Amino acid sequence: MTTSDTPADAAPRPRGHACVQSYLGTLDNSPGVYRMLDAESRVLYVGKAKSLKKRVANYAKPSGHSPRIARMISETASMMFLTTRTETEALLLEQNLIKQLKPRYNVLLRDDKSFPNILIPKDHPFPQITKHRGAKTRKGAYFGPFASAGAVNRTLNQLQKVFLLRNCSDSVFDSRTRPCLLYQIKRCSAPCVGRISAADYAASVRDAERFLQGKSTGVQEALAAEMEAASEALEFERAAALRDRIRALTQVQSVQGINPRGVAEADVVALHMEGGQACVQVFFIRANQNWGNRDYYPKTGSGAEAAEVLRGFLGQFYDNKEPPRLILLSDDIEDRDLLAQALSDRAGHKVEIAVPQRGEKVDLVAGAARNARESLGRRMAESAAQTKLLAGLAQAFDLDGPPKRVEIYDNSHIQGTNAVGAMVVAGPEGFVKSQYRKFNIKGDSLTPGDDFGMMKEVLTRRFQRLLKEDPDRQGETWPDLLLIDGGAGQVSAVAGIMGDLGVEDIPIVGVAKGIDRDAGKEEFHRPGLRPFALQRNDPVLYFIQRLRDEAHRFAIGTHRAKRAKAVGATPLDEIPGVGATRKRALLTHFGSAKAVSRAGLADLKAVDGISDSLAETIYGFFHERG
């Protein structure tokens, strides 16, 4: 791979078509990736080419471009190039650079979270059935992806009714002396206290796996045969339990809705564009079952066509996800075969990308397209309402214009312990959860419960980082308005903090409960101005309440998570080389962290998974501390 960013001459570079033209003499027909930059060296666009020379020659033409491309060329002041060995390598590099640099004229996927799976572990004689997200490091059978945590939870809830598998942790399982509530309501077979044999439980696990593999008919027939046999043997209670399991299994199938017979494994991807906005709907078909759908709203690169939007979406969507064997599209894309080859090489199995023309696959795509159209319609309606509310916010607080980014801050603690600060972000598209931030309060000199001190630490860390990363405020991470949960004192303190940082041009508003701390009687405080209130039925007041409540919710949730982690912490967490698995092995063997600290070296070496050297580390950790 080679790089180039300037032609042979060092003369001042022109802009637009002339700038692009000046690079032609330095390029050959190698595949690679190019970047177009503006006068401030900000990346405008990243693209890949089978032949860099031919692609750049197209941009050098003074006419024949769409308005979007013509606008991009006119802003181009320099270019950079990376040559690759193959076009496939160029495609993968292009997607990595787009995700890293987020150029204005590229299609950008904004929501790129991982998907949850169902996991049935293989490292326990009575495995649990549980939701799993992240790397598949634990030994077991994984089923997914599911579109959302809600889709997984609904399926798990029904599978518990059918197969009666436990969902408790191994530590809870080991400590039970009598059945829990789930056994009483027929959601678990209580293997923890021996209410089911290992062989029968293993059979239930196999049935659950067969169902998740799409072999539900066989499972249903086997349960029906068991029910009939139990009935003939006059075991009416067992027959009734089996009948309930069959009903639950039927309910699972009906809840899943779309269950295609001829499509065992596919992602159905449909695009709808309207008013310069795009919605991509993805349905997940696995084991002939619908495992949910999710909608995405990629940035359209200042006006890209449908084919480019869909191609850009697919490249970024599968960058960190394993693709299925079949991807069904609503619109054809450029380089479809090349993208399929790149995904196949990465996944280790053949991936086909198709635009169906007839049959059941067309129906699947049509359903996804209908969902995309309806989802975009709802989002555009919500966006119009949000725009109106932001305009009302600007009017209420005498801002120069509707804010594009509002940051709302709150703190949470209990008598100063496990203190956290929270920042939530809202804008024209509602809450921007990918921009939420939590701050673990580190100030050792703070007095417990010192809200002013906590806010000072949070804002100082936040804006010192902004000043370092984007001092010229060219990006989209600088706020247009700060909302603080507090009154005049809090606002005055925040204004002082911002003044010390040299950031005095961002409006600050404190939201304080009014008379009797009654919601609806909030008072608003601004530096150097008298407090005021809005009418109780003003939509802008309700909007501000939602912003404040979201910040409070996020702060409380972050604090509770930190407190729960602290409650479950042990000295074992501080020992190098002792991760979750070895910590579990030590606690299982000795019963408690205190017992581990008192154990002799020979006893530590006897624990499964603890090497002699690690045993010496653990022994030394506790005894040196003492």
**Measuring CA to CA, which residue among 471, 451, 452, 454 is closest to residue 463?**
471
Q: Can you spell out the DSSP letters for 382-405?
A: HHHHHHHHHHHHHHHTT-SS--S-
Domains of the chain by residue range: 2-105, 117-255, 265-286+295-377, 406-565, 571-625
pLDDT band at 626 (very low <50, low <70, confident <90, very high): very low
Phi, psi (rounded to 5 degrees) for 165: -85, 145
**Measuring CA to CA, which residue among 109, 115, 114 is closest to residue 292?**
115
Least trusted range by pLDDT, from 40-54, 262-276, 567-581, 593-607: 567-581
Residue 60 CA from chain centroid, whole number: 40
Crossing angle for the helix pair 360-396 and 539-567, nearest 10 degrees?
Answer: 110
**pLDDT confidence of residue 600:** 87
Structure tokens at 155: 């399926």
Q: Can you spell out the DSSP letters for 95-145?
A: HHHHHHH--TTSEE--------EEEEESSSSS---EEE-S---SSEEEE--
The highest-level CATH class for domain 406-565 is alpha beta
Looking at the predicted structure, is the pLDDT value of residue 573 above 80? no
Percent of the chain residues topping a pLDDT of 70: 89
Q: What is the mean pLDDT of the chain?
A: 86
pLDDT band at 253 (very low <50, low <70, confident <90, very high): low
Phi, psi (rounded to 5 degrees) for 83: -90, 145
- 8-state DSSP, 435: G
Looking at the predicted structure, is the pLDDT value of residue 55 above 70? yes
**15-25 residue pLDDT tens:** 888 999 999 99
What span, in angstroms and rounded, lies between the C-alpha atoms of 172 and 250?
31
Least trusted range by pLDDT, from 26-40, 190-204, 251-265, 541-555: 251-265
**Measuring CA to CA, which residue among 55, 11, 8, 9 is closest to residue 33?**
55
What span, in angstroms and rounded, lies between the C-alpha atoms of 136 and 499?
48
**pLDDT confidence of residue 530:** 92
Residue 85 CA from chain centroid, whole number: 33
Which residues, listed in sequence order, are joined to residue 134 by a DSSP beta bridge? none
Structure tokens at 148: 């959302």
- Provide the strand spans (E) within 338-458: 352-354, 406-414, 417-427, 430-431, 437-440
Looking at the predicted structure, is the pLDDT value of residue 255 above 60? no
Contacts of 192 (CB under 8 A, 6+ apart): 126, 166, 168, 173, 174, 176, 179, 180
**pLDDT confidence of residue 54:** 94
For residues 421 and 255, the model is more confident at 421
Phi/psi-derived region of residue 418, left when phi > 0, alpha when psi is between -120 and 50, beta in every other case: left
**118-134 residue pLDDT tens:** 999 988 889 999 898 88
pLDDT, average across residues 131-151 = 86
pLDDT band at 364 (very low <50, low <70, confident <90, very high): very high
- 8-state DSSP, 328: E
Contact 232, 143 (CB under 8 A): no
**Measuring CA to CA, which residue among 280, 344, 285, 275 is closest to residue 312?**
280
pLDDT band at 88 (very low <50, low <70, confident <90, very high): very high
Counting every residue, how long is the chain?
626
pLDDT band at 230 (very low <50, low <70, confident <90, very high): confident
Phi, psi (rounded to 5 degrees) for 614: -70, -40
Least trusted range by pLDDT, from 46-55, 208-217, 378-387: 208-217
**pLDDT confidence of residue 606:** 87
**pLDDT confidence of residue 383:** 86
**pLDDT confidence of residue 559:** 72
Q: Is 506 helix (H, G, I), strand (E, B) or coil?
A: coil
**459-511 residue pLDDT tens:** 999 999 999 988 888 778 999 999 998 888 889 989 999 999 999 899 999 99
Give CA angle at 215 (212, 221), nearest 5°: 120
For the domain 2-105, what is the CATH superfamily, name and number?
A: GIY-YIG endonuclease (3.40.1440.10)
Contact 263, 359 (CB under 8 A): no
Structure tokens at 52: 């860099």
Alpha helices in 476-531 (DSSP H): 488-500
What span, in angstroms and rounded, lies between the C-alpha atoms of 507 and 268?
45
**pLDDT confidence of residue 106:** 95
pLDDT, average across residues 219-228 = 76
Contact 208, 159 (CB under 8 A): yes
**pLDDT confidence of residue 13:** 67
Determine how many CB atoms are found less than 10 A away from the CB of residue 247.
Answer: 12
Whether 2-105 shares its CATH topology with 265-286+295-377 is answered no
pLDDT band at 72 (very low <50, low <70, confident <90, very high): very high
What span, in angstroms and rounded, lies between the C-alpha atoms of 62 and 606?
77
For the domain 571-625, what is the CATH superfamily, name and number?
A: 5' to 3' exonuclease, C-terminal subdomain (1.10.150.20)
For domain 265-286+295-377, which architecture applies? 2-Layer Sandwich (3.30)
Contact 296, 155 (CB under 8 A): no
Against a cut of 0.75, is the pTM above it?
no
**pLDDT confidence of residue 405:** 95
For residues 444 and 91, the model is more confident at 91
Which residues, listed in sequence order, are joined to residue 151 by a DSSP beta bridge? none
What span, in angstroms and rounded, lies between the C-alpha atoms of 111 and 321?
13
Least trusted range by pLDDT, from 51-65, 403-417, 523-537: 403-417
**387-423 residue pLDDT tens:** 999 999 999 999 999 999 999 998 886 555 667 889 9
Looking at the predicted structure, is the pLDDT value of residue 211 above 90? no
Contact 253, 211 (CB under 8 A): no
What span, in angstroms and rounded, lies between the C-alpha atoms of 59 and 18?
10
- 8-state DSSP, 85: S
